[in-house]
Chains A and B, each alone.
Chain A
């Protein structure tokens, strides 16, 4: 027990720059899982937990906020048109959530498929990939239409009059927005995932931040362009 503690203390003191061979050594000698060792190293008894979390998260959080603000800048540009269409205001948080969620689902599922060796060499012919795309695309379409119907219903009940041409325009805008986003996110997950996997790096660490940022920014940019074109 003393030997284990001594080794864990030694491990905790190592600077977190890269994967240290000591983790592998302790894992082999004392049969402690690598995840546990990593957690002990990061948040062990003598570590400064808030400092570790803030140091590792602040840069990516600020970057994500800046990217989102850039998207918001585009929306601010079409503020008057946007504010005049009540169902679009209701849909804004939902569309943003949906885009981010699909990015996360593609990334995590594709990374797992790569690790499990389920992806065929010629990915274009891979049935599991086709199935994943078909499932997400179908769910995206159903939830988008459902959200639009609810948003129009709420708008109507609040006294907002919806003309039939507005209904079709809105349907076109949100369907194209989500269809384009889902396709772009799928392609990014695929190519970036294969790239990082071939470089012997964990795709999980890169794909989720990349796809969620592209989803948030892309959603507002595509939405802005479509609103400008259609309305």
Chain B
């Protein structure tokens, strides 16, 4: 049983990329612990908020990659119905999920801590809009770029979206806090 084969190397390298992004995001989180994590309910919000980016942008990249491989989407044409539809749907989904996450932490604060913090709903909502305004176009652009360069975006976009998504999400949360 040979363990150190090409599969091992591929999985290992993609994991290294993924954990580097996670560690950068974690470091930002640790530096701004006072600002981010001391807000009541933030630890409830955080796992879902970080996961959302991978779920939405990752699926969007996978859908576009399928279209590119099937020849239905042309690698040089950006302004097509499918791409615009994907972007619009991804934004709408991100707003819906952010709103639900905001409502969850509002309800937690209201019932568990007896604090009426309506403003807290805006926190993931604004952060979700900022993060997705960066992450969705970037994911689409990188998918097309990789395809044009002859790579299979399916092999690269997973770790790319999770690692960049974590960093973008934490920074967006910080910006959102400053705005609110």
| A pairs with B | yes
Residues of A within 8 A of B21 (CB): 97
Contact A98 B26 (CB under 8 A): no
Closest to A134 in B: B3
Given A65-B100, A68-B48, A139-B15, residue A89 in contact with residue B70 (CB < 8 A): no
Residues of A within 8 A of B11 (CB): 105, 135-136, 139
Given A92-B26, A94-B22, residue A158 in contact with residue B31 (CB < 8 A): yes
Task: Given contacts A49-B89, A135-B11, list 16 more A-B pairs with CB under 8 A.
Answer: A39-B66, A39-B70, A43-B85, A57-B89, A65-B48, A66-B48, A83-B38, A92-B46, A94-B19, A96-B22, A96-B47, A101-B158, A105-B11, A127-B1, A135-B8, A147-B22
Residues of A within 8 A of B57 (CB): none
Which residues of A are at the interface with B, using a C-beta cutoff of 8 A? 33, 35-36, 39-40, 43, 45, 48-54, 57-58, 61-62, 64-66, 68-69, 71-73, 75-76, 79, 82-83, 86, 89-98, 100-101, 104-105, 127, 130-131, 134-136, 138-139, 142-143, 146-147, 150-151, 154-155, 158, 216, 220
Contact B22 A61 (CB under 8 A): no
In B62-96, which residues have CB < 8 Å from any A CB? 63, 66-67, 70-72, 81-82, 84-86, 88-90, 92-93, 96
Closest to B60 in A: A53
Contact A35 B70 (CB under 8 A): yes
A209 → chain B, closest Cβ, in Å? 10
Closest to A54 in B: B89
- How far, in angstroms, from A64 to B18 measured CA to CA in the complex? 20
A39 → chain B, closest Cβ, in Å? 6
Residues of B within 8 A of A94 (CB): 19, 22-23, 26
Contact A147 B100 (CB under 8 A): no
Tell me if B's interface is mostly helix, strand, loop or mixed. Answer: helix
Contact A89 B33 (CB under 8 A): yes
B134 → chain A, closest Cβ, in Å? 17
Closest to B124 in A: A65
- Our pick among A49, A62, A79, A91 for the contact of B96 (Cβ within 8 Å) is A62
- How far, in angstroms, from A90 to B26 measured CA to CA in the complex? 4
- How far, in angstroms, from A51 to B27 measured CA to CA in the complex? 38
Residues of B within 8 A of A71 (CB): 47
Sort A-B residue pairs by CB-CB distance and give the 3 closest, nearest first. A49-B85, A94-B22, A53-B89
**B52 adjacent to chain A (CB < 8 Å):** yes
Scoring B residues 3 to 42 as 1 if CB is less than 8 Å from chain A, else 0, what string do you get?
1000110011011101101110111011101000110010
Residues of A within 8 A of B23 (CB): 90-91, 93-94, 147, 150-151, 154
- How far, in angstroms, from A36 to B35 measured CA to CA in the complex? 49
Residues of B within 8 A of A36 (CB): 70-72
Closest to A154 in B: B27
**B54 adjacent to chain A (CB < 8 Å):** yes
